[in-house]
Amino acid sequence: MFEKEFMKKAISLSQENIKKGGGPFGAVIVKDGKILATGCNRVTCNNDPTAHAEVSAIRKACKKLKNFSLEGCEIYSSCEPCPMCLSAIYWAHIGKLYYGNTKKDAAKIGFDDSFIYDELDLPAEKRKIPALQHLHTEALEAFNEWKKSENKVEY
């Protein structure tokens, strides 16, 4: 259920983060009506292109729960997540996403992810970063070992 206070917190984090030298993005992960973790965009501060608000919050929440799954959680983001963050939200099994600004709003201030969406529509070999397959048979050995492994944790 949408809670206005959690969205306000995500927006507040985005505003506070600007003063700390980060990007205007904040995220809050909630479980059972309580804030589990928060995150802000620290890409340039940390020299880490993956340090987006949502990914940072996901990392903290998983660490706190000692689990890679955030099933039963909701995420409140000050902006519609980029492709990386949206993928992370799906991988974390977060049940619901609420956001404030849209990706079009973000593009207007210089955070335009449309080039990634455009690239994903192209065949792998035609992308700006060509993806070329090599040593497929050798690489499959690890997958075959995983398939047979009794120690694997599926997710």
What is the rounded CA–CA span in Å between residue 76 and residue 35?
A: 10
Q: Which of 54, 119, 138, 150 is flagged as catalytic?
A: 54
**What type of residue is 67?**
N
Q: Smallest Cα–Cα separation from 49: which of 84, 100, 88, 78? A: 84
Tokens at 46, concatenated: 């940390």
Task: For residue 54, indicate whether it is catalytic.
Answer: yes
What is the rounded CA–CA span in Å between residue 55 and residue 25?
A: 11
* C-beta of residue 27 within 8 angstroms of C-beta of residue 75: yes
DSSP 8-state code for residue 82: P
Q: DSSP E strands: which ranges in 41-126?
A: 73-79, 96-101
Coil, strand or helix at 94:
coil
Angle between helices 53-65 and 83-91 (to 10 degrees): 20
Which residues participate in catalysis according to the annotation? 54
